[in-house]
């Protein structure tokens, strides 16, 4: 019998993290697209379509990135959560367009991984990857201490159900 725990939201620090991350991704994409633009300017000035295609591509992706940074990020935050019970973990995520849920029996968990990049370290948050034989599901943007606590909880609970999923 599973004892239900209330739905846990992520730490709000994940919002600036996603904004920075998205901004850096847009910059990376711009740097990549600048390669064909440079080729056009230096060697192929008669091929104007390269410039038009690159400009259209950049315009589309920058609009998308700015829309996400100023508006969409709130949906991502509102739709990301997790519920840990004694025999399962439910991870929810989504964006402005869709909502996803993943139901993972704790007995299927092979291992859990804590991940943290430089920006996350600065903001004091980290990710927890819950790995089964089929997939890896991420709980993003928890405070470092909360991540460690959740990892300990998952490991301890996963031991209980090692006879099979949901005590099979």
Interface residues with another protein (CB under 8 A) are 2, 87-88, 94, 97-105, 108, 132-135, 137, 164-168
In the bound state with another protein, the residue whose beta carbon lies nearer, of 95 and 116, is 95
- Calculate the alpha carbon distances from 165 to 83, 108, 110, 132, 158 in Å: 17, 7, 12, 12, 10
- For 32, 54, 74, 99, the CA distances from 81, given in Å and listed in that order, are 34, 37, 13, 11
Is the CB of 107 or the CB of 120 nearer to another protein?
A: 107
Whose Cβ is closer to another protein: residue 31's or residue 133's? 133
Q: How far is the CB of 77 from another protein (least distance, A)?
A: 18
Measured from the CB of residue 99, what is the shortest distance to another protein in angstroms?
Answer: 5
Least Cβ distance, residue 40 to another protein (angstroms):
20
Closest CA to 52 of 42, 37, 32: 37
CB of 141 to another protein, least distance (A): 20
Please, is 9 exposed, middle or buried when counting C-beta atoms within 10 Å of its C-beta (0-12, 13-18, 19+)? middle
């Amino acid at each position: 019998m599973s004892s239900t725990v209330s739905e846990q939201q992520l730490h709000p620090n994940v919002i600036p993290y996603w904004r920075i991350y998205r901004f850096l991704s847009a910059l990376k994409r711009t740097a990549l697209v600048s390669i064909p633009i440079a080729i056009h300017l230096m060697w192929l000035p008669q091929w104007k379509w390269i410039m038009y295609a690159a400009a259209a591509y950049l315009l589309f992706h920058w609009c998308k990135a700015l829309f996400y940074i100023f508006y969409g990020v709130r949906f991502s935050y509102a739709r990301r959560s997790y519920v840990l019970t004694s025999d399962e973990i439910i991870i929810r995520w989504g964006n402005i367009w869709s909502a996803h849920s993943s139901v993972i029996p704790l007995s299927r968990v092979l291992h859990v991984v804590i991940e943290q990049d430089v920006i996350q370290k600065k903001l004091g948050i980290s990710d927890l990857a819950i790995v089964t034989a089929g997939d890896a599901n991420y709980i993003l943007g928890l405070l470092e201490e909360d991540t460690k606590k959740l990892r300990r909880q998952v490991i301890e609970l996963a031991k209980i159900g090692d006879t099979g999923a949901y005590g099979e």
